[in-house]
Amino acid sequence: MGLDIILLFKYIPNTNSVNVDPNTGTLIREGVPSIVNPPDLDAAEFALKLREKYGGKVTAMIMAPPSAVKGIEFLLGMGVDEGILITDRAYGGADTLATSYVLSAAIKRLEHFDLIVAGQETLDSSTAHIGAQVASWLKLPYVYYVTEASLDNGSIIVKRQLESYIETYRVKLPALITVLMHSQHPRPVTLKNKLRAVISKPIKTLTNSELKLNTMCTGLRGSPTVVAKTEFIAKIPRKKEILKDKGPQEAAMWLLSKLKEEGFVN
């Protein structure tokens, strides 16, 4: 029968080009190039490996502006089967609580799912909240920092890696896991997968017309998080000096002299 996997991901602004609205504290996305959140690519690879091993399908899901369809298309190019874009002006400016509320409502609409897979965190905020919050809304067990998983009689056995040791859990399905970032090697997009996506058109869109959520609980109005102040730190100028074609001893002496010049060592 296989696994029905939901892959949660985020389409984030390129962190080298991002700016913040000083009035709302939210990211300014217009005109900024975006990418699939890199830790979510680890999650995508993990989900695709599970599908290859056990069968089933992988559905990418995101709550975002309409432009995030490009993120779904990228994941389809990796081999994800279908995508769901949840988008509505009423959802704009959401913090993680309001975002997880909308995502969980969309998941409840699905006829069936076995496993929700998400990245460890997003590079534009690094809260790592979404996985736990979605699981809480859906009353699901969840495990963070997963590196391996296998199925066993209606449960999933996962290993998760912490700083100094590895833990193993047996969790009854359905469940949610987040994948340890840098633990996978995400596969590239292929032309075959991109052509399949163009032909089958596997992307669905949901708005609040379908979800019918209380807009006092969504978007900026439904977000209790307050950004009190945002400061940007200027980039540190780099001299970009390079020493080439020297032996180890001479290179070490050169580096030491430079560190002394800058006052880092006496």
The string of pLDDT tens digits covering residues 125-169 is: 889 999 999 999 999 999 999 999 999 999 999 999 999 999 999
* 256 occurs within a structural domain: no
SS3 of the chain: the string is CCEEEEEECCEEECCCCCEECCCCCCEECCCCCEEECHHHHHHHHHHHHHHHHHCEEEEEEEECCHHHHHHHHHHHHHCCCEEEEECCHHHCCCCHHHHHHHHHHHHHCCCCCCEEEEECCCCCCCCCCHHHHHHHHHCCCEEEEEEEEEEECCEEEEEEECCCCEEEEEEECCEEEEECCCCCCCCCCCHHHHHHHHHHCCEEEECHHHHCCCHHHCCCCCCCCCCCCCCCCCCCCCCCCCCCCCCHHHHHHHHHHHHHHCCCCC
Greater pLDDT, 56 or 21 = 56
pLDDT the model gives residue 17: 61
Residue 47's domain is classified under what CATH number?
3.40.50.620
Closest-CA residue to 223 (of 131, 116, 107, 102): 102
Q: What is the pLDDT of residue 118?
A: 98
Which pLDDT belongs to residue 244?
A: 85
198: pLDDT confidence band, cut at 50, 70 and 90?
confident
Q: Looking at the domain assignment, is residue 223 inside a domain?
A: no
| pLDDT band per the 50, 70, 90 thresholds, residue 226 | confident
Let me know if residue 48 belongs to a domain: yes
How far apart are the C-alpha atoms of 233 and 254, rounded to whole Å? Answer: 30
Averaged pLDDT score across all residues of the chain: 92
Domain tally for the chain?
1
Percentage above 90 pLDDT, the chain:
72
- With respect to residue 222, please indicate whether it lies within any of the assigned structural domains: no
- Note whether residue 265 is domain-resident: no
Residue 116, domain member (yes or no): yes
In a domain, 140, yes or no: yes
Which residues are bridge partners to 86 per DSSP?
Answer: 63, 206
**In DSSP terms, which residues pair with 12 in a beta bridge?**
35
The percent of residues in the chain predicted with pLDDT above 70, rounded, is 92
Tell me: pLDDT of 25 over 70.
no
* pTM attached to this predicted model: 0.84
Backbone torsion region of residue 215, taken as left when φ is above 0, otherwise alpha when ψ lies between -120 and 50, otherwise beta:
alpha
Domain that holds residue 53: 3-217
pLDDT at 2: 87
* Mean pLDDT score, 51-68: 96
Across 199-223, average pLDDT: 96
Question: What span, in angstroms and rounded, lies between the C-alpha atoms of 46 and 12?
Answer: 20
In a domain, 247, yes or no: no
